[in-house]
Amino acid sequence: MEPQQLILRYSGWVREALDELPDCFTITDPCVSGHPIVFASDGFLKMVGYCREEVIGRNGRIFQGPDTRRSSVIEIREAIREERCVQISLLNYRKDGTPFWMLFQLCPVFSKDDGRVINFVAVQVPISRKSRRSGVGNSRREMNSCEDGNGFRDNFFRCCRREVCSDSIFELGRASAMDSVSSHDDEVETNEPCEASEVEKTKASAAISNILSVLTHYSELTGRSVCVKRCRLTGNGHLSASLNISLRRIKQSFVLTDAFLPDMPIVYASEAFLKLTGYDRHEVLGQNCRFLSGTDTDTVTQFQIKEHIQAQQACTVRILNYRKDRTSFWNFLHISPVRNASGKVAFFVGIQIDERCRNGETHGLSPEMRQLSVVGAVKVAVRGLSMGANSS
């Protein structure tokens, strides 16, 4: 049975409505650690050979195998990180280990209230062998597939006519009934490029549209409406749910600012930061870090910070900041750029330590090491979204 979150968002009738759709698809929840599958259609389960209990709660990586292209997986993970659609040919594996090519189309589902990504819908359309064939050599393979007198090949390709069979599968077939067939002519390489036809691409897009229509309708019944396009965002709506989950595990005082947005607003603030400054989260998100400055904050230090940010360099300063109640504290501040998987500076992380705590530190890590550990954890969280933390 699918996780309860699906029912809470879309009402109890959504599963029945989704089950009526004939397409092969899954729905995942990026708000849960590990980005698990929360719904799998009957068509998808038949295609991969798993039962529902073996799929629900698992990450999509279970369908990948030794010949799945790393570049394709990274492209999908990057789309997840950037919360956008992607359509790509992908080699996946059934439960019994047989590989098959499919057209994979992914689409995010946004909350209409705050613009967060609620789910990802992934449609899988098997790519037929005919759409892969071209040229004289391939035509000869198609002819040979009908010439085997013992009927094994006809039955074999009737069952997996839309998949690309690995060398090992062909070896098993020849051992039992295909000794006379040339391996050179009939082996199909799983690492060959495999492009979907326009018909298959149209089928995938139509399936996405139908699924999103169902989700939109049943979300309105609960008052938690979803939409296909993100609404206007503020604050940490720019962060994916998965990144928020990872950042919440870091217990030190820090903020994350978005390097791509004007005036670099804060898009994440830790609980320790809110406790240190006395502000509520909604008062912090969307603000530039200058809001901590006050009458006696040194402008030279502020300029030093600005110079390092413009140069995309880390810096450590001692600066006078102010809490919400306007009491001041000396902030031992470290700022560092955070790059995404493509190498671009996507965020800046600022780690704050009240100097009174710094001077009183006698056990455990030094303040400098604590700050560097936060920088490392944030970098792992950001890069992990496209390099392994969230898989397709």
Domain-located, residue 392: no
Measure the CA–CA gap between 353 and 340, rounded to whole angstroms: 26
- Inform me whether the pLDDT recorded for 144 exceeds 50: no
Confidence (pLDDT) at 146:
37
Same domain membership, residue 202 and residue 57: yes
Same domain membership, residue 373 and residue 245: yes
Q: What does the pLDDT look like over 18-53, one tens digit per residue?
A: 999 999 999 998 878 888 999 999 999 999 999 999
Give the burial class of 39: count Cβ atoms within 10 A of its Cβ; 0-12 exposed, 13-18 middle, 19 or more buried: buried
Segment 62-74 shows an average pLDDT of: 92
Same domain membership, residue 219 and residue 89: yes
Q: What does the pLDDT look like over 211-246, one tens digit per residue?
A: 999 999 999 888 888 888 765 444 444 577 778 888
Q: What does the pLDDT look like over 379-389, one tens digit per residue?
A: 988 877 655 44
Domain-located, residue 310: yes
- Inform me whether the pLDDT recorded for 186 exceeds 90: no
Confidence (pLDDT) at 104:
96
Give the burial class of 96: count Cβ atoms within 10 A of its Cβ; 0-12 exposed, 13-18 middle, 19 or more buried: exposed
Same domain membership, residue 317 and residue 349: yes
Residue 191 — very low, low, confident or very high, per pLDDT cuts 50/70/90? low
Domain termination residue (choose one: 203, 227, 251): 227
Phi/psi of residue 65, each to 5°? -150, -170
Segment 166-184 shows an average pLDDT of: 35
Confidence (pLDDT) at 132:
54
Same domain membership, residue 105 and residue 42: yes
What is the domain-level CATH number for residue 27?
A: 3.30.450.20
Q: What does the pLDDT look like over 92-108, one tens digit per residue?
A: 999 999 999 999 999 99
Domain range for 244: 235-387
Same domain membership, residue 357 and residue 306: yes
Overall domain count for the chain: 3
- Inform me whether the pLDDT recorded for 297 exceeds 90: yes
